[in-house]
Amino acid sequence: MEVEIVYCLLSVVLPAFTESYYHFEYTECDVLGSRWRVAVPNKADICTGLPDPVKGTQCTFSCSEGEYLNMQSQQCQKCAAGTYSLGTGVAFDEWDSLPSGFVTHGMNTNDRDVHTDCSNSTWTPKGDYVSSNTDECTATLSYAVSLKKPGTVSFEYFYPDGSIYFEFFVQNDQCQSTDSENRWMKISESNWSQYKVELSSGNNVLYWRTTAYSLQGSAVKPVMLRNIAISGVAYTSECFHCKPGTHSAKPGSARCTPCPAQTYSNKGATVCHQCEEDKYAEAGSGSCKPRPACTNSDYFYTHTPCDSEGKTQLMYKWNEPKICSETVEGAVKLPASGEKQTCPPCNPGFFVTNSSTCEPCDEGFYSNGTACTKCPVGTEPVVDFEYKWWNIMPNNMKSSIFRREFTWEVAGEYVYTTPGDQDSDYLMLTLSVPGYRLPQSMATDSERSELSRITFVFETMCTADCKFYFLAGYNQWNNDVVEEWKGSNRKQSYSYLIQRNSSTSFTWTFQRTEDFNRKYSADVAKIYSIHITNVIGGVASQCRRCALSSAKAGSTCVPCPTGHYMVSGTGVCKSCPPNTFIKADHAVGEAACVQCGPNTERNKAHTACLSDCALDVQTTGGALLHYDFSPLANVTGFHSSPRFTNKGLRYFHRFNLGLCGKEGRVPATCVDNVTESGREVKGYVCQSTVVPSDIRSQSVVSSQPFLIGDSLIGVTTDTTLSSISSPKWMFPSASGLLDVIFYYKSSETTQACKQGRSAAIRLRCNPTVTAKDLITLPSNCSEGTCDGCTFHFLWESQHACPLCTKNHYREIVSACIQGIQRTTYVWQQPLQCYGGESLPAQKVSACVTLDFWLKFGVSTGTIAAVLLISISCYFWKKTRKLQYKYSKLMMNSGDKECELPTADSCAIMEGEDAEDDIMYLTKKSFFTKKMKSFSRERTSDGFDSVPLKSSSSHQQREEEDSDDA
């Protein structure tokens, strides 16, 4: 009873609340999939008098597109005219400011050690779209949504620049991201692209993230988003009003329709209103603007297609849609059309029909632009596309811009850029190519044949900072900048070699300036001719003579055998000289044979020269050095010293080298992992730019790959080879051993390197280096090149030393110790070899020690001394006896001066010679007397015998001799 009384009192005191004081919401779904509808006050101080909760619809309930859920009746109703609904979703198509729920912030994820202010690097609303950052910071745009059932998210994006990384991913309740392959956004060719991703039920956080990698100082084009729609929220309780410039004429619209040009609409409009005569409006405008006076930038000139009489004329047309007024004071009038003139001939490979139009020749025919002629027997058509007359835009070419078409217009002798809406517009001309195919006579020898080449002649005339780009597309979503020209450029030709059969389009883009104005509409780019070879579906302007050889059945042409060239104009194949290869540009005659460089040999396919990593070098002293670089043959990568952008982003130049190798060697590869294309280049030497990064869970982001060398020119110790120079002053050396230099060249040409890039890798012997990849750049050229075309590297390694031989070591013989002598071998210092012959093992041999020879010498000396003393004593004693006999003789002969002493004996004493008995008594010198006395022998009685013979005895002997006679 008390409760009823209180309730009545309250009902009397409190006013009756209307729906403006509260709104309805559903509670969370329970385990049975049920929920309740409850009233939620719009003001915090209201807590009573609200409607009671009622049973809600099932959680799986949803409304169709163009409907909303009336919470009062819990029934679906159609949206009124001027509004729209996605049924089970929400849409965001107005970007005057960030819609509720969207969050954007900038942060530095490239290198945590760099303190860069990224607070202003965010996504910025631009009215119809939201634009990303263009600096090195990472800008993230996120939106959190809770889905009652599985749904989708779709959006439109414009992503024209590969210098910025753009990814989209979703995280669920467990912070699990979508697959990485779905995160890569594809490059937009020329217009907005659609993207759609499935979402799971529950909480989902959507992320759009960008990071620019503009390392060359050029401006980066931002990523743009619009028309984000999310489905799966189960219901929407209201319809959204159409934004200005759009309308919905009927109830139950799922989306609003943009107003056409020259009309406008306000927010929530059901119809579009026509602008007044003196005003204009672009498509999707919310208001009209006064028409400006017409100027020369509001019209363009073109050549009309040939009529049935074969005539064409110069005509002037207003830019569409026309926004200027001819009646305003100072306005210019549209110039009058020119007189009719005879049409120029058709492009090569086409012929003139009876209606004066140009049609392609049939297969097997060729044409110079007038009539088709069948190729003679023994020849084949050279298929290509060559455009040098521009009366109509070719069927496989189109021009476009961000907001309109026909930005390039034909003008007879050239195609040119017409005035645009803004000077910052990118005026694009695209040539679509289905693929490439070599001529039949070259198809079996594709390794040595040039797949395709595109050549065009252009000219730019600018008063501002215009830019002209040439881009090559490797799939239908991606275009990579091949070359860029700035400012005015005289009429010139550019050629690009196509190396893989995957290109589908080529684009020429012209931008007058970065400013959003129309001051430089007279700045223009012209393309005079475009020629692309070996195109599938192309036409023939000439026929090529086939080689004279046995053809297969059904074949009209056959290639020359491997290592042969075709003699010009004859079709005869002739063998190339030894160790030569065939140039890829199909030069006719003996000029097609190119001699291999020093210390290289041609491969089996006769398409290039290779090095087997072995080399013999004759020194000035006559010695022969043998090198083996095979341990260095594997692909080696290294970084340059760090460099920094204006905002402090740290990046490196990554070089990959594949020094040498035989058939089937693994080439050096550089890739681009910033965009979806994954473009890569392969060769001997390549470079890419890498940035340390945390995004995508990668340690580095690699971009801008290009080839430095794809062919080996030669290996030598000379500092110059084939116009490539490697000066000694770049890498000074104190060693007397010459460096071995590998020379490479690239077939890719650029505006700065018209002869292509090249590289010189200098190998220097350094036995102290144990690592295989000690590679350095010149100190005065920190990026490896001083001119941007020729790159220089110094590779120090022990494997760069010549193989060791017997001349690199010497022997050391030790002293003889205890009958053992050792011979040890040591390297000559400084050591300048590695590998090859090893040091011989130590030799051990028996020997006689010094002690033995000393003892032997002492013993021999002692014996000799004893013997000498004995002989001396013997002769001394003998001399004493002779002196005694002589003295006695002299004493006996001194008694009588005139008489001789009587003989003691007439017989010869034993031990005396008869020869000593004769003694002449003539006067002799004292020395003679002494010698005579020394020469006598001692008698048996111990005395010397001195026979004395008188003159009478001598006379008596002479008389006896005469009597006998």
The DSSP-derived string for 150-204 is -EEEEEEEE---TTEEEEEEEE-TT-PBPPGGGTBPPPPSSS-EEEEEEE-SEEE
Percent of the chain with pLDDT over 90: 26
Q: Does residue 778 have a pLDDT over 60?
A: yes
Written as one letter, the residue type at 772 is: K
The DSSP-derived string for 58-125 is -TT----TTEEEETTTTEEEEPPTTEE--SSEEEE--BSSPPTTEEEEEE--S-TTS----TT-S-EE
* pLDDT value for 47: 66
Q: Alpha-carbon dihedral of residues 711, 714, 720, 725, nearest 10 degrees?
A: 30
Token pair 């026929």 is at which residue? 543
How many Å apart are CA 891 and CA 288, to the nearest integer?
A: 175
Q: Does residue 476 have a pLDDT over 70?
A: no
Q: Does residue 659 have a pLDDT over 70?
A: yes
SS3 category, 637? strand
Q: Residue 894: pLDDT band by 50, 70, 90 thresholds?
A: low
427-458 pLDDT tens trace = 889 898 888 888 766 655 555 567 889 999 99
Q: Residue 351: pLDDT band by 50, 70, 90 thresholds?
A: very high
Written as one letter, the residue type at 896 is: K
The DSSP-derived string for 480-523 is EEEEEEES-EEEEEEEEEE-STT--EEEEEEE--SSSSSS-TT-
Residues 6+ apart with CB under 8 A from 163: 212, 213, 214, 218, 220, 674, 703
Nearest CA among 478, 481, 524, 523 for reference residue 503: 478
Residues 6+ apart with CB under 8 A from 849: 816, 817, 818, 819
364-388 pLDDT tens trace = 899 988 889 998 877 888 899 999 9
Please name every residue paired with 827 in a beta bridge, in sequence order, or none if there are none: 809
Q: Which of 58-67, 340-349, 453-462, 618-627 has the lowest mean pLDDT?
A: 58-67
672-683 pLDDT tens trace = 877 666 678 899
* pLDDT value for 946: 46
Report the pLDDT averaged over residues 320-335.
Answer: 88
Q: How far apart are the first and last CA of the chain?
A: 212
Percent of the chain with pLDDT over 70: 81
Q: 171-180 long-range contacts, Cβ below 8 Å, gap at least 24?
A: 171/204, 171/205, 171/207, 172/200, 172/202, 172/203, 172/204, 173/202, 173/203, 180/696, 180/697
How many Å apart are CA 759 and CA 779, to the nearest integer?
A: 16
Q: Which of 255-259, 287-291, 887-891, 928-932 has the lowest mean pLDDT?
A: 928-932
Q: Which residues of 110-145 are buried (b: 16+ CB within 10 A; e: fewer)?
A: bbeeeebebeebbbbbeeebbbbbbbbbbbbbbbeb
Q: Does residue 11 have a pLDDT over 70?
A: no
Task: Supply the mean pLDDT for the chain.
Answer: 80
Selected residue with higher pLDDT from 118 and 712: 712
For 286, counting Cβ atoms within 10 Å of its Cβ (0-12 exposed, 13-18 middle, 19+ buried), the class is middle
548-583 pLDDT tens trace = 654 454 556 777 778 888 776 677 788 888 888 887
Q: Residue 148: pLDDT band by 50, 70, 90 thresholds?
A: confident
* pLDDT value for 727: 92
pTM of the model: 0.69
* pLDDT value for 878: 83
Q: Residue 854: pLDDT band by 50, 70, 90 thresholds?
A: confident
